[in-house]
Structure 1
Amino acid sequence: MITSSPRPSTVRALVLAGASLMAMQAAQAQEATQPRRGGSNPPAESSVQLEELSVESQGGGGPVAAARVGAASRAVESPTGPIDGYVARRSATATKTNTPLIETPQSISVVGRQQLDTQNAQTLQQATQYVAGTYAGTFGADTRIDYFQLRGFVASDYGLYRDGLQLLNYGFAYSRVDTFGLERVEVLRGPSAVLFGAGNPGGLINQISKRPTENPFGYIEVGGGSFDQRYAAFDVGGPADAEGHWFTRLTGYARNGGTQVQGAPDDSYYIAPAFTYKPDGSTKFTILSSFQHDNTAVTSNFLPYYGTVRPQAEGLRIPRSLNVGDAGFNTFQRDQAYIGYEFEHVFDDTWAVRQNARYGVTESFQNSYIGQLGYADPLQTQLARYLFRDHAKIAQLDVDTQAEAKFSDGFFRHDFLMGVEYRNFQIHDNQASGFPGPNLNILAPIYGPQTVSASPYLIQADSFQQVGLYFQDQIKITPELTLILGGRQDFVQNTVYDRLTPSNTNGRNDSAFTYRAAAIYNFDFGLAPYVMYATSFQPLIGTDINGQTFKPETGDQIEGGVKFEPPGQGYFLTFAGFDIHRNNVQTPNPANTLFQQQLGEVRSTGFESQLVANLFDGLNVVASYTVFGINTVRGNADQIGRVPVNTPENLANLFFDYTIPTGEWRGFGFGGGVRYVGRSFADVANTLRLPDYVLFDAQVHYDYQNWRFQVNATNLADRRFVSSCQAENSCFYGDARRVLAKVSYKW
């Protein structure tokens, strides 16, 4: 459900300016109920609170002062709540405090519920495809998991978070959150280990769950379209008692149908109950839970370069719809359940404490023939295959305890945060393979019963524990200049129990100190230049092909940029340049791509910009551009100076949506998008090149009273493209044209 608060006009703001002094007293009295703590967990309201009136001018009177007076009656956005239009104002991801984006000295993009609904983004990959610095869909049309690169580095393994707590994706044990259960998606670029203790220097993606609201509401949606897809969803919530202490929300989603790969299903259902208890104005306790079941197949077919990017020996290309597995047993199934809580208590005007915790379990099973071996004949019509099977179980506990103090030392104002985080990750992984599998004729595929048995090559029980102690001080040197200093000490214990070869059981203990120093200067007219230096530390789970545990990754980045958000103009523009060094980077082992190996150092240097705008009534725009150079600076001789595979170095996107606000056509809307992805390489030697490509999206919709009718089309021209190649025999087709229609009703 989308909720937004109308913006008062300047005239109305000036009229209310006198009365706002009385309103200030009421707002201050209400502070006990809705404390403006700047914390990452605001009270459960309709996701808004009244902003404090400020008649002080940091640069004189005139329009700036008037805008600040108008702010007294404008609803303040919650960092976990809905966004008015597309332009987010606040976030808690970069600092773990409730901080305006214009005062955050780091690149961050926020995709809100309204944009997700307009684009009908059903996966996290689709939700982030217009975000700067982000390449979504590295492995093409994969229905098992979302893959991302941030500033050229993979972030879908250790860089996925939900509500500020990590979702680890190791090996073939994947986690995936249904986007209908999200309020917003926040993409933080650059090292973030100083607060989160994990993640590579490219950044992380934090998924913010829907939470209970103060106002009662209801929402239902049904839809369907390409590949026989059909789905239904609902979202209801509000107060559960007359006194206003209990609030609930229940979100559900169910999908059934096929995919662009013949015989591969894409079935899923998701249910998420949430409860909030507010015994008084200073305390809030929220329970967030969800259960999700997925039944799909391996759709990211591992195909040869010749036959996809370029024609094969007979001048043919492999159809996108080809099922390289077998419709009878090309299987991927997953069950995942999470339950957690968010607790906050405000002691006084200075101190507040919070604790966020979550326990999750995931079980997945995969059994399929895989390509990845190339052709078995000179005419290149017979795909060589092998059987791959995996059964994985995961249990993960995260607890993050924070204390925040807001005070003045007589010279400067401080927002001081300190915390301790505990993470426990347990995985039981059983991987097996069978060589050789039956060849598959790409001209006339014949499927049959499974003829190859799988033999285990890896049976492990991995135990990973991490404790981190961190602090951060946001210091107001002047009303315009903010300095952020932070540090974190992590202690990690990683043990791998080899059930197949017990003598290979081993482990390691690691520790590291990471830090961040940043400064931002906010001019009255909305310009905010900033600079930031930060380091990263990512302990790695698992072993290499020799059974040895991996060394932790380390990295650092310097970033400088400018943010521009002129008061009252409705748009937010950012520019950022960065230089990243990442050490001990993992890459598939060429001897056996089921295992990883570690390189020396990879460097990424580049520039990105993004515009998010509510330009005028009814028009929303998102645009971004990214260019960077990435190469291996230390490692194997054949990799030094080369661009890593799977990695396009140029990205450009534009998306808009317009709804007619008045007249006979009121409620009718339309829009579309253009996505450009630059060239990349398919082999380590950089001799096989993937061309760049352009994709078009479009949507039309009509709002009538509480009804909405909408049709979306992605890859409108149905362009056949290869999203990336991991190696010469591991290329992945991107999404074919997808058309979805939906009808929704809210009350």
Structure 2
Amino acid sequence: MEGPVPTPIDSQGQPSGVIALVTKRPSEKPIHEFQLQGGSFEQRSGAFDFGGPVTEDGKLLYRFTGLLREGGNGIDFSNDKRAFLSGALTWRPTAETEITAYSLHQRNQGRWNFGLPARGTVLPNPNGRIPVTRFIGEPDTYNRTEMTVAGYNLQHHVTESLTFRQNVQYSRESWERRDVNPTSVGADLRTVNRRAESRHVTRDTFAIDNHAELKAMTGPLQHTVLFGVDHRRGKTAVLGNYGTVGPIDVFAPVYGSPVVWSTTDQYAERQPENFIGVYVQDQIKLDQWILTLGGRHDWADTSIVDIIGGSVTNQNNRAFTKRAGLGYEFDSGVVPYVSYAESFTPLSGRTFDGSPLRPETGVQYEAGIKYQPRDMNLRITAAVYDLQRQNVTTADLANPGFSIQIGEVTSRGFEFEAVASLTSNLNLTAAYAYNDARVTQSNDANLGKRPVTTPPHLASLWADYTIREGALNGLGFGGGIRYVSASAGDFLNTFEAPAYTVVDAMARYDIDNWRFSVNVTNLFDNQYVVGCFSLVQCNVGRVRTVLGRVSYRW
């Protein structure tokens, strides 16, 4: 229902990039689509997508999208639900002005799966192998989220060379969960000790971004200048409690252990935050050279108000970050480039001991090449990078719902991707990534170690073939393979989550306005572990899942 788009240089984020989710926008072309889906583990869903012009002159456009989904994922008691509804309306009062107002509402309900112990999944266990479908919580636990968003995007062309944009958004999110999570494994390597936790979080956020884009010439130099200011204000309220619960035999579980909760909340906080940023960027073109220069100054003010303890912790941070890139466009479609980027990302929340999370900072150097010839449908990108990130946040396994921060993580690597239409029938996508990530600053024993769940090698290959003539016109099928190398299994790298390979497949048939499709994830039902955080928690991969879908578009 949403599509990922890269965040531009005018926003806060990592130097390696940020992914933002954007709802579907109104379309000038009429869109009408219904979709039904069903498959493994009683998964079923229905969705619709309508859009197009409201008036004949095209000055008013709309988009209305909805989804209902329910089903499991192969883990015991894993049934979850989602309901999603979004709408958008675009108004073009003049040829120079466009405003799009949008809103969405989404509800999710499920259970949090904390994984399985390492002994019995990635390490030997004298009791045997733990079934990958095992759930070590309690069936009456839950995880509920709700989100409402409303906002608008305004664009006005002041002149042919000057454009003003304003983006405004308000969101309210709530998260309520009641979990039973593992704390340790007994000496018999089958008894998992557990504790209970409840947590309720609400968050209100208002954000506004005003910027202008100016196109100008200074002699032979062609400039595209972007300058603006953004502001984000938020308030988070957190209530939490702990409870005691009995252990569970992971090989022969008996559910229904009573939970004894504390009679009062164990923590209650308010977390107001206020962020302001001013930025400028200039993209300069000279013949086939492209130079991009950018700078941004951020002010971040956050507080943590401990309602129970009566204390207030304030944190004020300032930072100026810079970005630069240089590329050259050859007539053949080859574009080599180099870039430098700094980042400053304020973080909300605190560690378990009450300390506020420090902003994450980073520096990245990158060099690469892009190739997209004009006479064929081919795109190839390759890059090497060196990325240093400070105050990297990771999950606090001893205290679920909280985070800890690592001093510095350095990642050096290489990325390659190729997308090609080899014929009018056959499409091919291939990708490979190498990432040597190490903890390079730390006061703990993890100095020099690899971060957990960070495999050094990732590779994938996907092929898609469609028959476009004859009696089987509209029939398509495809398949792919994903490889993930071994990754560190714990903080000190004392064991690994082994490498795994997964094969996926699909088939589809288009006839008139109908599309029938079947997708199979993990075709050969390979049992694997995606990654481990500790000896207590390893997250298993999805078992074979088959989903069938029918859609009608007119």
Query: Above 0.5 in TM-score?
Result: yes
Match of 2:277 in 1: 468
Match of 2:336 in 1: 529
* Structure 1 residue 242 corresponds to structure 2 residue 51: no
Contact kept, 8 Å, 2:246 with 2:257, in 1: the verdict is no
- TM superposition shift of 1:686: 1.3
Superposed CA deviations along residues 470-504 of structure 1, whole A, max 9, x for unmatched, are: 000000122x101000000111110111112112x
Contact kept, 8 Å, 1:472 with 1:487, in 2: the verdict is yes
Counterpart of 2:517 in structure 1: which amino acid?
Q
> Aligned equivalents of 1:293 and 1:524: distance in 2?
50
- TM superposition shift of 1:637: 4.4
For normalisation by structure 2, the TM-score amounts to 0.96
Counterpart of 1:490 in structure 2: which amino acid?
D
Among 136, 144, 152, the alignment partner of 1:324 is: 136
Match of 2:248 in 1: 440
Match of 2:47 in 1: 233
Q: Classify 1:659/1:528 alpha carbon distance in 2 versus 1 (closer, same or farther; 3 Å).
A: same
Contact kept, 8 Å, 1:471 with 1:486, in 2: the verdict is yes
Match of 2:119 in 1: 306
Among 375, 379, 394, the alignment partner of 2:185 is: 375
Superposed CA deviations along residues 664-701 of structure 1, whole A, max 9, x for unmatched, are: 21100000111100111112221211111000100001
> Aligned equivalents of 2:349 and 2:85: distance in 1?
32
Among 177, 194, 198, the alignment partner of 1:366 is: 177
Match of 1:224 in 2: 38
Larger RCO of the pair (alpha carbons < 8 Å, separation 6+)? 1
For normalisation by structure 1, the TM-score amounts to 0.72
- TM superposition shift of 1:427: 0.9
- TM superposition shift of 1:407: 1.1
Match of 1:512 in 2: 319
Per mean C-alpha deviation after superposition, the further-off stretch among 392-401 and 201-210 is 201-210
Partner SS state of residue 298, structure 1:
coil
Give 1:534-613 correspondences, 5 Å limit.
Answer: 534-588=341-395, 592=399, 594-613=401-420
Contact kept, 8 Å, 1:555 with 1:583, in 2: the verdict is yes
Match of 1:672 in 2: 479
Contact kept, 8 Å, 1:668 with 1:701, in 2: the verdict is yes
Superposed CA deviations along residues 688-742 of structure 1, whole A, max 9, x for unmatched, are: 1111100010000101011111000001111111111111112111111111001
- TM superposition shift of 1:549: 1.8
- TM superposition shift of 1:590: 7.1
> Aligned equivalents of 2:355 and 2:185: distance in 1?
33
Q: Classify 1:618/1:186 alpha carbon distance in 2 versus 1 (closer, same or farther; 3 Å).
A: farther
Match of 2:233 in 1: 424
- TM superposition shift of 1:452: 2.1
- TM superposition shift of 1:592: 4.4
Match of 1:343 in 2: 154
Flag structure 1 segments of 5+ consecutive residues without an equivalent: 1-180
Contact kept, 8 Å, 2:528 with 2:540, in 1: the verdict is yes
Counterpart of 2:307 in structure 1: which amino acid?
R
Among 444, 466, 486, the alignment partner of 1:659 is: 466
Higher helix content, 1 or 2 = 1
Match of 2:295 in 1: 487
- TM superposition shift of 1:344: 0.3
Superposed CA deviations along residues 536-590 of structure 1, whole A, max 9, x for unmatched, are: 1111222223322232221101000000000031111000000011112234457
Counterpart of 1:366 in structure 2: which amino acid?
R
Match of 2:103 in 1: 289
Per mean C-alpha deviation after superposition, the further-off stretch among 683-692 and 449-458 is 449-458
> Aligned equivalents of 1:321 and 1:537: distance in 2?
41
Give 1:713-728 correspondences, 5 Å limit.
Answer: 713-728=520-535
Counterpart of 1:681 in structure 2: which amino acid?
A
> Aligned equivalents of 1:257 and 1:491: distance in 2?
44
> Aligned equivalents of 2:261 and 2:253: distance in 1?
21
> Aligned equivalents of 2:81 and 2:397: distance in 1?
34
Match of 1:120 in 2: none
Q: Classify 1:326/1:528 alpha carbon distance in 2 versus 1 (closer, same or farther; 3 Å).
A: same
Contact kept, 8 Å, 2:237 with 2:269, in 1: the verdict is yes
> Aligned equivalents of 1:258 and 1:639: distance in 2?
37
Q: Classify 1:303/1:449 alpha carbon distance in 2 versus 1 (closer, same or farther; 3 Å).
A: closer
- TM superposition shift of 1:187: 5.4
Partner SS state of residue 341, structure 2:
strand
> Aligned equivalents of 1:637 and 1:239: distance in 2?
60
Contact kept, 8 Å, 1:302 with 1:370, in 2: the verdict is no
Partner SS state of residue 616, structure 1:
coil
Contact kept, 8 Å, 2:60 with 2:91, in 1: the verdict is yes
Give 1:45-56 correspondences, 5 Å limit.
Answer: none
> Aligned equivalents of 2:546 and 2:157: distance in 1?
48
Contact kept, 8 Å, 2:366 with 2:385, in 1: the verdict is yes
Superposed CA deviations along residues 574-616 of structure 1, whole A, max 9, x for unmatched, are: 0000001111223445764654333322110000001122333
- TM superposition shift of 1:627: 0.5
Partner SS state of residue 261, structure 1:
coil
Contact kept, 8 Å, 1:462 with 1:541, in 2: the verdict is yes
> Aligned equivalents of 2:173 and 2:522: distance in 1?
32
Q: RMSD over aligned Cα, in angstroms?
A: 1.6
Contact kept, 8 Å, 1:264 with 1:330, in 2: the verdict is no
- TM superposition shift of 1:449: 5.8
Counterpart of 2:5 in structure 1: which amino acid?
E
Q: Percent sequence identity over matched residues?
A: 35
Contact kept, 8 Å, 2:73 with 2:542, in 1: the verdict is no
- TM superposition shift of 1:257: 2.1
Q: Classify 1:293/1:594 alpha carbon distance in 2 versus 1 (closer, same or farther; 3 Å).
A: closer
> Aligned equivalents of 2:432 and 2:532: distance in 1?
23
Q: Classify 1:323/1:465 alpha carbon distance in 2 versus 1 (closer, same or farther; 3 Å).
A: same
Counterpart of 2:89 in structure 1: which amino acid?
F
Match of 1:692 in 2: 499
> Aligned equivalents of 1:354 and 1:483: distance in 2?
23
Q: Classify 1:573/1:582 alpha carbon distance in 2 versus 1 (closer, same or farther; 3 Å).
A: same
Contact kept, 8 Å, 2:115 with 2:135, in 1: the verdict is no
Among 415, 422, 437, the alignment partner of 1:615 is: 422
Match of 1:681 in 2: 488
Higher strand content, 1 or 2 = 2
Give 1:691-710 correspondences, 5 Å limit.
Answer: 691-710=498-517
Give 1:384-395 correspondences, 5 Å limit.
Answer: 384-395=193-204
Counterpart of 2:67 in structure 1: which amino acid?
Y
Among 252, 255, 260, the alignment partner of 2:74 is: 260
Match of 2:4 in 1: 185
* Structure 1 residue 397 corresponds to structure 2 residue 206: yes
Partner SS state of residue 422, structure 2:
strand
> Aligned equivalents of 1:363 and 1:595: distance in 2?
17
Partner SS state of residue 227, structure 1:
helix
> Aligned equivalents of 1:380 and 1:694: distance in 2?
28
Contact kept, 8 Å, 2:246 with 2:258, in 1: the verdict is no
Contact kept, 8 Å, 1:303 with 1:374, in 2: the verdict is no
Contact kept, 8 Å, 1:201 with 1:582, in 2: the verdict is no
> Aligned equivalents of 2:524 and 2:151: distance in 1?
43
Aligned length: 553
Counterpart of 2:242 in structure 1: which amino acid?
S
Counterpart of 1:304 in structure 2: which amino acid?
P
Partner SS state of residue 41, structure 2:
helix
